[in-house]
Amino acid sequence: MTVVPFDKSLKLTIKQERFARAYVESGNATAAYRQAYKAVAMSDGAIRKEASRLLHHPAIIAEVTRLKRDVAVRNEIDVDEVTQKLRDAYDKAMANDQSSAAVMAAMGLAKLGGLLGEPVQEEPQPTLEETKQRIRETARELVKYDPAWGQIAKSLPKASG
């Protein structure tokens, strides 16, 4: 089990703490984001992107690790026990000719052993309008450094809608 020492520099905001707790409870980062943040006006893609960003934040990683450790301690679960239960489930499934149950147990063992990582979720591609908007915003920022970008920003088509 990974032990994450308390580090005062890894202080969480209230919303980050809510996100970490909701993530540990559900295992679903987007659901946790919706629960912790006001995401009503956000697209599903934006929510996925923000939830992913939070899962890579050092303070949230530390908090999620701490919360998972606390759950394991509270429920008296350790890796050896889980490994044995998965091996027993595999053996029972094979004895009863239940191949899909055996595969599930084998996959659980592989994941527990670090042989399988978490599935990578592909980031949604921005729409054409989102890309144009990003270019316009970048051009407006670049004007601060080079006035020539002002002409470029003016030449870009206006946002539709």
- One-letter amino acid at 9 equals S
Report pTM. 0.48
HEC assignment per residue over 87-138: HHHHHHHHHCCCHHHHHHHHHHHHHHCCCCCCCCCCCCCCCHHHHHHHHHHH
Among the residue ranges 25-34, 67-76, 84-93, the one predicted with the least confidence is 67-76
* Residue 157 pLDDT level (bands cut at 50, 70, 90): low
Domain limits for position 161 = 125-161
Q: Are residues 15 and 63 in the same domain?
A: yes
Q: Are residues 101 and 134 in the same domain?
A: no
Assess whether pLDDT exceeds 80 at residue 121: no
Q: Is residue 135 a contact partner of residue 156, using CB atoms and an 8 Å limit? A: yes
Q: Are residues 42 and 69 in the same domain?
A: yes
Q: Are residues 25 and 65 in the same domain?
A: yes
Q: Are residues 45 and 58 in the same domain?
A: yes
Assess whether pLDDT exceeds 90 at residue 21: yes
Q: Are residues 8 and 48 in the same domain?
A: yes
Q: Give the number of domains in the chain.
A: 3
Assess whether pLDDT exceeds 50 at residue 17: yes
Among the residue ranges 22-31, 49-58, 92-101, 109-118, the one predicted with the least confidence is 109-118
Q: Are residues 67 and 93 in the same domain?
A: no
* Residue 1 pLDDT level (bands cut at 50, 70, 90): very low
Q: Are residues 44 and 86 in the same domain?
A: no
